[in-house]
Chain A
Amino acid sequence: MKQWFVGLPGPMPLKVVVAAIVVFVALVLLFFVYDWIGTTLLDSGGTIG
């Protein structure tokens, strides 16, 4: 993790911004993956057909 952060391009403020964007995008993607798993396996809304 630390190595990944250090390896980011640019000065420290840019690294922080890039890291924040990457983390945000990853969380959004994770949300959609969770949502898909949830609606497929746990609770599809109870529809018929």
Chain B
Amino acid sequence: MDEPMNNPVEQPTPRSTGVLTRIVRIVGWTSIVVGVLILGFVAQQLFVTTWFAQQNQTALTEEVEERFAAAETTEIEYVPQVSVTNPGDTNAGTGGTIVEGGSGSVTDEDAPLSPQKRSLLVESTPEPGAAFAVIRIPTIDRLKDGWVVVEGVELRNLKNGAGHMPRTPLPGQPGNAVISGHRTTYGAPFHELDELNPGDTIEVDTVLGTHVYEVRETIIVQPSELWVTEPRDGAWLTLTTCHPKFSSRQRLIVFAELIDGPNWETIYA
């Protein structure tokens, strides 16, 4: 009487269903975890590091203002050494165009006076990690109000502010002052450095006053190309940052020459 019912659709066995479900679940959860980790990385790099940098900048601004109020300046004798070179001659060994005019050397106060001697304002060398200057670039929005510069280019220094490379002159002094900064993280002070054009100005406040530089050249180099930090005739400011954005593969370099400030006349007159 009762005939067995034939099921036209073959149902998957419980075992095969369980394995498939488990695979889908593992793949799903792995995707979710990886996605969350990537989102977390992006958030940490873009927002958390910037938040830390902004907190540090607030503290460093107070520190640099205290330095400006308390630090003493000294006048020392400076002998310009005029070097005659071909204008526009680019020398890879010294890092670019060599200009005619005031190269110089700092001498002892007791050294015999000569007619060429002039007074150069100097400040004390800041301690590693200490805030000592403010860099301002009027044509770049995020640097219109300035970014504090600290002494040193260790990772811990650059997390706080732009970093001045030790063993290069301080801004406003003869030679080549080098300042490095992050491009995309930790406040990204040099994010729009590629937008600078020859003729744009860069201002650096130190305890001596405001040193005004004019951009001369922007180039891309490899991170190992140390020549960009070598001394130059006159007074120069070299800014370095990562290139391209979100990569530390290369370096964007901006060369700027002093055009005004407390020491300009001494160095170039």
Give the interface of A toward B (CB within 8 A).
Answer: 30-31, 34-35, 37-49
Contact = CB atoms under 8 A, between A and B. Distances in A.
Given A39-B248, A46-B190, 14 more contacts: A34-B44, A35-B44, A38-B49, A41-B247, A42-B246, A42-B248, A43-B242, A46-B180, A46-B251, A47-B163, A47-B240, A48-B251, A49-B224, A49-B229
B124 to A, nearest CB: 24
A44 B248 contact: yes
Interface residues of B, number: 37
B225 A48 contact: yes
Given A47-B240, A48-B251, A49-B226, A42 B185 contact: yes
A40 B40 CA distance: 17
A13 B251 CA distance: 53
Contacts of A41: 247-248
Main SS of chain A's interface residues? helix
B225 A47 contact: no
B5 interface: no
A42 B45 contact: yes
Interface in B173-225: 178, 180-186, 188, 190, 221, 223-225
A42 B226 contact: no
B44 A43 contact: no
A47 B247 contact: no
